Chain A
Amino acid sequence: MSDSNDQIPWRMIYSGVLVWLVAVIVFMYIFSKVYS
């Protein structure tokens, strides 16, 4: 188990996940409005 000095762009991944969360909320909101 090594806490490797990786080259993965973590900041971009975390931001991407939070943007994804907002996109999912927006999708579910629009979905609700269309079918309610």
Chain B
Amino acid sequence: MSIVDWVVLFGTVLGIVFYGVWVGKRNNNLNTYIRGGDDLKWGTIGLSVMATQASAITFLSTPGQGYEEGLAFVQNYLGLPIALVIICLFFIPLYYKLNVSTAYELLGQRFDQKTRLLGAGLFLVQRGFAAGITIYAPAIIVSTLFGWGLNTTILVTGILVILYTVSGGTRTVSLTQKYQMLVIIVGMTIAFGYIIAGLPDDISLGDAFYLAGIQGRMEAISFSLNPEERYTIWTGLLGGTFLALSYFGTDQSQVQRYLAGRSSVASRLGLMFNAVFKIPMQFAILLLGALLFVFYQFAGSPVFFNEAALDGIPEERLEQIEAEYAAGQQTRIPLLREILIEKAESGEPSADTLGYLVGVNAELEKQRVAVQEEIKRVNASADTEDADYVFLSFVLDNLPVGLVGLLVAVIFLAAMSSTASELNALASTTMVDGYRALIKRDESETHYVWIARGLTLFWGILAIGFAMTLTLFDNLIEAVNIIGSLFYGAILGLFLIAFFIRWVKGSAAFWGGVIAEILVLALFFSEIDIGYLWFNMIGCVITVIFSIVFQQVFFGGLKEAK
């Protein structure tokens, strides 16, 4: 990166951090620190909820997903608007009515202390784990591409987040997220424009979409009932609704964002903002990836985007693979133009030309497999996936000086905004549902604010420490999703009982949740092979059924409960 890029990167990131610290230094009462002062407008809430969900890996992995597999991943978000409407109708009114600071406080008021602690405990385990990964996942990619030290990148990101999150709490997190999200939107829009401008002059945007489509990158909606197909409209509407209901309705890192509204109107409008714009945003990022796929077909891509992983492969062998890959790509360019000419002349390209393209793509894939085998030969535990590196490689090689710094800042800001929400929520839950509920009930506001600050620092240091040891594990993103699915189900089950099955009381709900969690974990460690997204639904259903049965059999049933 040039000096100008460094100035833009540091200027943007430090600007946000200083703004956060400046806003936060006045936050000395508990309401402002935990609930954000209850005066944020709906626009701030909308952007803050969006920034919390969109971590750095969203802006690295999602274009990679579009590049490799096309638009189908967008279906995962189809349940999100439905879940947000349900939350506005049932969750938010009760959160406001009971005047809670954390989601789990509601469990305490509706059931009892032990059920509240169960909910809070399950949240702390899974979110504590996720916070480390939110810092680690982008750090490994950025440090590899730029040749920075991994631990230095993790430390810098972590310390910057801690600086303003510790000082200002919820209000600062939400206000900084507003600007972080605006910078992210501007940065991604510019990148999108550069990809389109980077296409050859004779290739229109429609041509690029068409070329992406005939190579399987444009199928956004699938009505297939085949259970082996990962993303379909059915899994999106069913599984997606469940996942979004758990995440937005019961995860304190999100609940804390919208409870900071000046009224339930602001909270609900903030969520409706996400219900409207989230799917188009994900669609646009995936489309950016699909366009990158076409861009690199004309501009020529490296055989493997993570070039650092190629170290150690015998030079002669690597040169041979790269030469064959480059030659294959040169053969493909006239073929792509031929396809467009045939389409213009007769409506669609001939089967021969399409067959030839399939053959050339298969030959190119062989070269990629060859290089992946070489990487494995040098280092058996090396990662042979390079999709996460596609977008930043494009930025680094194709954007002008200054904009490279801005786009790297986008990745850092996205990492910081998600981490800030997580640390803020972890500290608030530990303070409100643990320290204040169990250890010291009647201390001054200043005392609790300082305890919350200390806990934010504690969780921040834990997340950094965890991120620094993560190199020991493989498949991090999948790991965080699995952990989430293992714990979300029981938590959502407890909340659904709280809202909709009013005759089930605390003890029945608590034991229902405990049994469900044990069964989900037993199922996970058993020989039975179940897709991890299903654990969410299984945990929720078991919690509800067992709680009803326990209430009926052991705790006096419907009559007693009344």
7 contacts between A and B (CB under 8 A): A1-B35, A1-B99, A3-B263, A8-B265, A20-B81, A21-B81, A31-B220
Whether B96 pairs with A10 at a CB distance below 8 angstroms is no
In the bound assembly, the distance between CA atoms of A18 and B84 in angstroms comes to 10
**Could you tell me which residues of chain A, from 1 to 23, have a CB within 8 Å of some CB in chain B?**
1-4, 6, 8, 10, 13-14, 17-18, 20-21
Whether A32 pairs with B81 at a CB distance below 8 angstroms is no
B71 at the binding interface (Cβ < 8 Å)? yes
In the bound assembly, the distance between CA atoms of A20 and B278 in angstroms comes to 12
In the bound assembly, the distance between CA atoms of A21 and B89 in angstroms comes to 17
Whether B272 pairs with A4 at a CB distance below 8 angstroms is no
Contacts of A3 in B (CB 8 A): 93, 96-97, 263-264
From known contacts A25-B78, A25-B233, A29-B220, infer whether A4 and B264 are also in contact, taking CB-CB under 8 Å. Answer: yes
Whether A32 pairs with B221 at a CB distance below 8 angstroms is yes
Q: Mark B241-267, 1 if CB is under 8 A from A, else 0.
A: 000000000000000000001111100
Whether A10 pairs with B268 at a CB distance below 8 angstroms is yes
In the bound assembly, the distance between CA atoms of A35 and B221 in angstroms comes to 13
Whether B276 pairs with A17 at a CB distance below 8 angstroms is yes
Contacts of B220 in A (CB 8 A): 28-29, 31-32
Whether A18 pairs with B263 at a CB distance below 8 angstroms is no
Contacts A3-B264, A25-B221, A35-B209 supplied; 14 other A-B pairs, CB < 8 Å: A3-B96, A3-B97, A3-B263, A6-B263, A10-B88, A14-B85, A20-B81, A21-B78, A24-B283, A31-B220, A32-B71, A32-B213, A35-B213, A35-B218
Whether B82 pairs with A14 at a CB distance below 8 angstroms is no
A interface SS class: helix
B6 at the binding interface (Cβ < 8 Å)? no
Contacts of A28 in B (CB 8 A): 71, 74, 220-221, 283
Q: How far does the Cβ of A4 sit from chain B's closest Cβ, in whole Å?
A: 5
Q: Which residues of A contact B (CB under 8 A)?
A: 1-4, 6, 8, 10, 13-14, 17-18, 20-21, 24-25, 28-29, 31-32, 34-36
Contacts of B221 in A (CB 8 A): 25, 28-29, 32
Whether B88 pairs with A31 at a CB distance below 8 angstroms is no
B363 at the binding interface (Cβ < 8 Å)? no
Residue of A nearest to B261 (CB): A1
Contacts of B209 in A (CB 8 A): 34-35
In the bound assembly, the distance between CA atoms of A20 and B280 in angstroms comes to 11
Q: Which residues of B contact A (CB under 8 A)?
A: 35, 38, 71, 74, 78, 81-82, 84-85, 88-89, 93, 96-97, 99, 209-210, 212-214, 218-221, 233, 261-265, 268-269, 272, 275-276, 279-280, 283
Contact of A17 among B96, B275, B280 (CB under 8 A): B275
Most buried by B among A18, A29, A32, A35: A35
From known contacts A4-B263, A31-B220, A36-B214, infer whether A18 and B85 are also in contact, taking CB-CB under 8 Å. Answer: yes
Contacts of B88 in A (CB 8 A): 10, 14
Contact of B210 among A8, A21, A35 (CB under 8 A): A35
Contacts of A32 in B (CB 8 A): 71, 213, 218-221
Contacts of A18 in B (CB 8 A): 81-82, 85
Q: How far does the Cβ of A19 sit from chain B's closest Cβ, in whole Å?
A: 10
Most buried by A among B35, B209, B220, B264: B220
In the bound assembly, the distance between CA atoms of A34 and B213 in angstroms comes to 9
Whether A21 pairs with B263 at a CB distance below 8 angstroms is no
Contacts of B283 in A (CB 8 A): 24, 28
In the bound assembly, the distance between CA atoms of A10 and B97 in angstroms comes to 18
Q: How far does the Cβ of A27 sit from chain B's closest Cβ, in whole Å?
A: 9
Whether B96 pairs with A1 at a CB distance below 8 angstroms is yes
Contact of A36 among B38, B89, B219, B272 (CB under 8 A): B219
Contacts of A24 in B (CB 8 A): 279-280, 283
Contacts of A31 in B (CB 8 A): 218, 220
Q: How far does the Cβ of B441 sit from chain A's closest Cβ, in whole Å?
A: 22
Whether B213 pairs with A36 at a CB distance below 8 angstroms is yes
Contacts of B38 in A (CB 8 A): 1
Residue of A nearest to B283 (CB): A28
Contacts of B265 in A (CB 8 A): 4, 6, 8
Q: How far does the Cβ of A31 sit from chain B's closest Cβ, in whole Å?
A: 6
